[in-house]
Amino acid sequence: MHGVRLTLAYDGSAFCGWARQPGQRTVQGVVETAIAAMAGVEVDLRGASRTDAGVHAEGQEAAFDSPREIPPHGWLRGLNASLPDDVAVVRAHVCEPGYSPRFDASEKTYRYLVLPGDQRAPLLHGRVWFLGPKRRHSAGRRAGSGIHAWLDLDAMREAAAHCLGTHDFRAF
């Protein structure tokens, strides 16, 4: 068997999350289908972590074992040719058979985008939390149009300080 490690990017809008689920469109499911077409056998794609429905990723790590030896650029091009437009292989590497990126992950970054303002940004629909005029902070009604007009940044910084540090999220 030959180990292959992939870095994936995807728009999660039309997916029911990462993990394979019967009768549901998932990232793992569509990537496994594309890999099986190239490898000639069904594979088990092992992800570094799972994402919920609607969550996007820019650098999701995953690995699988294949009986076929295909160079990394072959996996990259071949998979991207058959994957749907909302998933792409960004990088492919050789790895040890059985490698699991889950046990190699050292950090995860989650980014939440907030758009304060009076007007929506249609090209960012589904990618940002639009605050809009109805969510303007009460103090901001007098303060103008800056970020402080919508958010109490001092209270947010104080609350975020409780999240700093190393935490064990295995139970989740």
Q: What is the DSSP string of 11-71?
A: -GGG-S-SS--TTS--HHHHHHHHHHHHHSS----EESS---TT--EEEEEEEEEESS---
Strands 87-95 and 2-10, sheet pairing? antiparallel
Q: What is the pLDDT of residue 26?
A: 94
Q: What is the pLDDT of residue 34?
A: 96
Which neighbouring-strand residues pair with 66? 2
Q: What is the pLDDT of residue 3?
A: 95
Q: What is the pLDDT of residue 42?
A: 94
CA 34 to chain CA mean position, Å: 19
Q: Which residues of the chain have pLDDT under 50?
A: 140
Is 154 among the catalytic positions?
no
Tell me the C-alpha distance between 70 and 160, whole Å: 46
How many residues are there in the chain? 172
**Angle formed by the axes of helices 27-39 and 72-82, to 10°?**
120
- Identified catalytic residue from 52, 65, 118, 152: 52
pLDDT tens figures, 97-134 = 999 988 887 777 777 787 777 777 888 887 887 877 66
pTM of the model: 0.76
